[in-house]
Homo-oligomer: A and B are copies of this chain.
Amino acid sequence: MKEQVIPYKIYLEESEMPKQWYNVRADMTNKPAPLLNPETLQPLTKAELSQIFCDELVEQELDDTTAYIDIPKEIHDFYKMYRPSPLVRAYCLEEKLQTPAKIYYKFEGNNTSGSHKLNSAIAQAYYAKKQGLKGVTTETGAGQWGTALSMACAYLNLDCKVFMVKNSYELKPFRREVMRTYGANVTASPSETTKVGRDMLERFPGTGGSLGCAISEAVEVATQTEGYRYVLGSVLNQVMLHQSIIGLEAKAAADKYGIKFDTVIGCAGGGSNLGGLIAPFMGEKLRGEADYDIVAVEPASCPSFTRGKFAYDFCDTGMICPLAKMYTLGSSFMPSSHHAGGLRFHGMSPTLSQLYDDGFMRAKSYVQSEIFEAAVEFAKVEGILPAPESSHAIKAAIDEALRCRETGEEKNILFGLTGTGYFDLMGYEQYNNGTITDYVPTDEELQKGFDRLPKVNR
């Protein structure tokens, strides 16, 4: 252990990078509920899942007993190009807040995808390549996941078909161009290239599309094209597994300097970042080796943990995907179109949902004007312009540090800075112009989503 002068940024040596992912399900007494076939309401079999996902990922999806899974050398080599990511001591933010707390953040934005999404994209692309597949399909909304997958596929020389929600395709041409630059085939969804898309266009001519429809198109192409499978950037157990690299690195870096975190904070949409960041800390907590205050932060406009139901639901608004047991607002829930702060998914990772339901973590929510205010405060003192998503964790960390200023506690706070906001400047523009609006759904609005939850819950 090095002496206690903490640098601004702690980088692991390449030789210190984790060589295995950690599967938190292995240490859970109450395992996450299985995915169900929406027609039979029976747990999905390996054979059924293998029609959608590639084989090794199906194994990972279903494995809830193996605690550590080797990271293949090829993925580890790719990780070395942009990892280890730094564990940063937020000295300037601490000074600005005049807090006795010590604030750390794990920064995942230093790669062209601009976020942690690349950690799972390369893994999913690698297993597809290993299986001898020709390519993968996926959907993307804002474009972060699509960009990450395009990068991974370019590296492995794998075909990549991305269905991008039409509104985003038109409003975020730069995200689209990054994907095209990496060789991806990017199609505005709904499109004429699938049955689902053609039906949608006939029913709603001029629609701007939705994530649910884009998922349906991507799944249709994957299941009906020889040599293709579908990949997804969040929610799934396999994604939580790959993203555990975030928390494992953070813990290894902290251990080098004898830092023991008290509070671990992550933003939560589908849960990919939160699940990854907290993994090893949650493991210690589950095994009774240490205690941590683990906090999920979500937008008040899409409050799945704080106001949702723990129930079986569809992962997509099109209601064609498997049923997952999770905290959900109902697959018909649509966050306000005024919401610029990301994390718009109606549900939540089944693994995280179970952990939350069992009391191993807490959750809080903020409206987006609070989020952008925290983002700008952070950017001015720490330099990095954060993604609005990441800024949910920043806001919660600032609040915790200010609480410590009141109580005098010298807590060690860790939060996940999942990415940069370089492609989110329309949201910042609204904030700078004072035209950003906060939206919180009423109980009645939420009830409509709950009323449409699948019958299996009744």
List the interface of chain A (C-beta within 8 A of B).
7-9, 11, 13-14, 80-82, 92, 110-112, 114, 151, 154-155, 173-174, 177-178, 180-183, 376, 379-385, 420, 422-423, 425, 428-429, 431-432
Known: A92-B81, A422-B422. A155 touches B13 (CB 8 A): no
A81 touches B382 (CB 8 A): yes
- What chain B residues lie within 8 Å of A92 (beta carbons)? 81, 155
Please give the distance in Å from A140's CB to the nearest CB on chain B.
Answer: 16
B385 touches A180 (CB 8 A): no
Known: A112-B385, A379-B154, A385-B112. A177 touches B429 (CB 8 A): yes
Chain B residue nearest in CB terms to A88: B81
Complex CA gap A362/B110 in Å reads 33
Copies in the complex: 2
Task: With A7-B80, A112-B383, A151-B383 given, name 12 new contacts (CB 8 A).
Answer: A7-B13, A7-B14, A81-B92, A92-B155, A112-B420, A114-B422, A155-B383, A177-B428, A177-B429, A178-B422, A181-B385, A181-B431
Complex CA gap A180/B11 in Å reads 32
Can you give 24 contacting A-B residue pairs, CB < 8 Å?
A7-B14, A8-B80, A8-B81, A9-B14, A81-B92, A81-B382, A81-B383, A82-B383, A112-B383, A112-B422, A114-B422, A151-B383, A154-B380, A155-B380, A155-B383, A174-B425, A177-B425, A177-B428, A177-B432, A180-B428, A181-B376, A181-B379, A183-B380, A422-B423
Known: A151-B383, A181-B379, A383-B82. A173 touches B425 (CB 8 A): yes
Please give the distance in Å from A268's CB to the nearest CB on chain B.
Answer: 24
Please give the distance in Å from A97's CB to the nearest CB on chain B.
Answer: 15
A111 touches B429 (CB 8 A): no
- What chain B residues lie within 8 Å of A151 (beta carbons)? 383
B8 touches A181 (CB 8 A): no
Please give the distance in Å from A151's CB to the nearest CB on chain B.
Answer: 6
B155 touches A381 (CB 8 A): yes
B178 touches A425 (CB 8 A): yes
Please give the distance in Å from A426's CB to the nearest CB on chain B.
Answer: 8
Complex CA gap A174/B422 in Å reads 8
Please give the distance in Å from A16's CB to the nearest CB on chain B.
Answer: 11
Closest 7 CB pairs of A and B: A174-B425, A7-B14, A8-B80, A154-B380, A177-B425, A112-B385, A177-B429
B110 touches A110 (CB 8 A): yes
Complex CA gap A111/B11 in Å reads 16
A385 touches B178 (CB 8 A): yes
Complex CA gap A112/B421 in Å reads 9
Complex CA gap A102/B225 in Å reads 41
Chain B residue nearest in CB terms to A15: B7
Complex CA gap A47/B74 in Å reads 61
Please give the distance in Å from A168's CB to the nearest CB on chain B.
Answer: 14
Q: Which of B9, B81, B114, B380 contacts A80 (CB 8 A)?
A: B9
